[in-house]
């Protein structure tokens, strides 16, 4: 038998979990003279479609066993897949074994991601049964030997493969470029699958454990290997700047949620850019953080973000009230901003938004009247975040990663649990209940502002934000300048301690009435004394809120 031996009928092995397009693919292969080998459910569907199918068990001489756990793991299958047909010794070996080459393989894997969504977290058996064994082996073997085997792991590629086979007139003459492309896709398929399994099981089995030194403390077990699996969703227009290329990817390990930014429905305007997504992420993160039941009388949230920092954040008894309060925090910076609401946008809010230039507007939905009004601006993009309810889910991100040269940083990310009933009042003046409520709101905002960060709050709305400064006192100056007269009587939130009293001096000059900060400076007493001199109430929380 030689590589070009035309007396041997070419064979194709089809064994797929995702059966989309498999019947048409098989029919196309039959028309090209291929013998179809198959297993279990795939073979049954092909036979029901009128195709003649050779069962893999007739090739291996061994029945499927253990409820189909073992069916293709046999030398009669893998020897033809791994034989190098351009080598005489491999061809002779196949002849001696009595095997014919398999030149086309269509295999995709069990839907472990879907199983992980619905499987009982306390019961592993159902989920473990969705770990494919034979499938990845077939895919990897075929991809490894792609010079002689065409591997189709994605049903969307079936038409391309049939076209290539028709043009080449022979499986062995299909261009190497396409073979490599399909092999890479196959390796991506198995790598994504293995990564998903490892990450899901890590979260289930090792995600949290009780620290024996403190039974009330839950310690995160970080994985020994950081496995990142993401599929390309689209190419973006450009990166942060026009000379940079960019793309957006969907995290394959976040399949349990459909209301993510990447899966959001985008309508109107130009395509989303790299910067749009980065700013939208910051906006959505803060909106989720405030979308809790802590403020039952003001359930509506509006966040306005510019260049990754909030310039306005507010709660309101109504959506329009929340928007107007957030806009008033810094109406100048709101031009060309990203805005997020935690509930569907209504007509009166849309009317109020009409004059403002907005890059992106996000919400769990838009009423028909609101959408009609908002879409009158051609360049305005609306992002609908799918939600099981009409309200955004609270922030639930557990582990976040940050690339650095040569590796990654990994950390937990969750809102700090600050019990204000246990926070230390450092000054003679004690804060009022209303001020403490403003502090509770303010720390949630402050944790999402780039450091050094100062946030001024009136009620449950920001009135001035000083983000991302190398000097804390400069952050105070910016926040108070933006607040203007609204700084009088406001509550100031600092993401870290005051290293000097100059920040308190600036706050007092602007009329700040209360301060909440972590404390912990060697000059804390100097800072406390300065606050006492001005009659400012100050609380130490012990929680730093840096965001770099």
Residues with a catalytic annotation lie at: 144, 307
Tell which phi-psi region holds residue 61, choosing left (phi > 0), alpha (psi between -120 and 50) or beta: left
Strands 104-108 and 150-152: parallel
| Residues 166, 8: Cα–Cα separation, whole Å | 18
Pairing of strands 309-316, 337-341: unpaired
Helix spans in 367-471 (H): 368-374, 433-446
Give dist(CA 537, CA 433) in Å, integer.
Answer: 12
The secondary structure of 237-261 as a DSSP string is S-SSSTTS--EEEEETT-TT-S-SS
d(CA 145, CA 258): 37
Three-class SS state of 310: strand
Give the containing element (helix H, strand E) for 360.
strand 358-363
The residues, ordered by sequence, that sit 6+ positions from 539 with a Cβ below 8 Å of its Cβ are 420, 423, 424, 425, 426, 431, 436, 439, 514, 515, 516, 517
Element (H, E) at 108: strand 104-108
Strand partners, 266: 383
Tokens of 371: 């959408």
């Amino acid at each position: 038998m030689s590589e070009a031996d035309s007396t041997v009928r070419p064979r194709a092995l089809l064994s797929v979990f995702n059966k989309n397009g498999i019947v048409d693919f098989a029919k196309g292969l039959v028309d090209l003279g291929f013998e179809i080998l198959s297993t279990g459910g795939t073979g049954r569907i092909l036979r029901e479609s009128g195709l003649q199918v050779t069962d893999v068990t007739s090739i291996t001489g061994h029945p499927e066993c253990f409820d189909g756990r073992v069916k293709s793991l046999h030398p009669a299958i893998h020897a033809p897949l791994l034989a190098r047909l351009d080598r005489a010794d491999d061809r002779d070996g196949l002849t001696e074994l009595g095997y014919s080459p398999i030149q086309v393989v269509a295999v995709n894997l069990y839907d472990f991601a879907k199983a992980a969504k619905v499987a009982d977290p306390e019961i592993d058996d159902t989920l473990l049964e969705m770990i494919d064994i034979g499938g990845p082996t077939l895919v990897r073997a075929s991809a490894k030997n792609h010079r002689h085997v065409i591997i189709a792991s994605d049903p969307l590629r079936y038409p391309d493969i049939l076209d290539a086979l028709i043009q080449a007139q022979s499986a062995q003459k299909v261009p190497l470029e396409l073979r490599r492309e399909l092999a890479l896709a196959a390796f991506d398929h198995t790598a994504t699958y293995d990564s998903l399994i490892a990450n899901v099981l890590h979260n289930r089995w090792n995600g949290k454990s009780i620290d024996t030194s403190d039974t009330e403390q839950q310690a995160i077990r970080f994985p020994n290997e950081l496995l990142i699996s993401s599929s390309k969703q689209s190419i973006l227009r450009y990166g942060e700047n026009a000379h940079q290329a960019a793309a957006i990817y969907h995290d394959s390990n976040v399949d349990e949620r459909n209301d993510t930014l990447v899966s959001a429905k985008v309508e109107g305007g130009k395509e989303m850019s790299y910067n749009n997504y980065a700013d939208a992420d910051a906006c959505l993160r803060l909106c989720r953080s405030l979308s809790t039941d802590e403020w039952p009388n003001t359930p509506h949230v509006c966040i306005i973000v510019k260049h990754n920092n909030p310039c306005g954040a507010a709660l309101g008894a109504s959506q329009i009230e929340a928007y107007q309060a957030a806009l008033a925090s810094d109406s100048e910076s709101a031009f060309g901003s990203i805005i997020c609401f935690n509930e569907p946008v209504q007509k009166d809010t849309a009317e109020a938004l009409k004059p403002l230039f907005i890059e992106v507007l996000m919400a769990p939905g838009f009423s028909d009247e609101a959408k009609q009004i908002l879409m009158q601006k051609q360049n305005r993009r609306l992002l609908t975040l799918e939600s099981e309810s009409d309200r955004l889910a609270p922030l639930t991100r557990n582990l976040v990663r940050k690339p650095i040269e040569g590796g990654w940083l990994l950390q937990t990310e969750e809102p700090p649990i600050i019990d204000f009933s246990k926070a230390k009042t450092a000054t003679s003046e004690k804060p009022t209940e209303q001020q403490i409520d403003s502090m509770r709101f303010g720390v949630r905002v402050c944790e999402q502002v780039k450091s050094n960060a100062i946030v001024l709050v009136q009620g449950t709305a920001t009135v001035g934000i000083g983000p991302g400064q190398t000097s804390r006192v400069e952050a105070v100056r910016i926040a108070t300048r933006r607040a203007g007269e609204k700084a009088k009587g406001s509550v100031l939130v600092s993401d870290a301690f005051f290293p000097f009293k100059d920040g308190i001096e600036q706050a007092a000059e602007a009329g700040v009435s209360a301060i909440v900060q972590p404390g912990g400076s060697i000059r804390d007493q100097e800072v406390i004394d300065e606050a006492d001199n001005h009659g400012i109430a100050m609380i130490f929380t012990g929680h730093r809120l840096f965001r770099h």
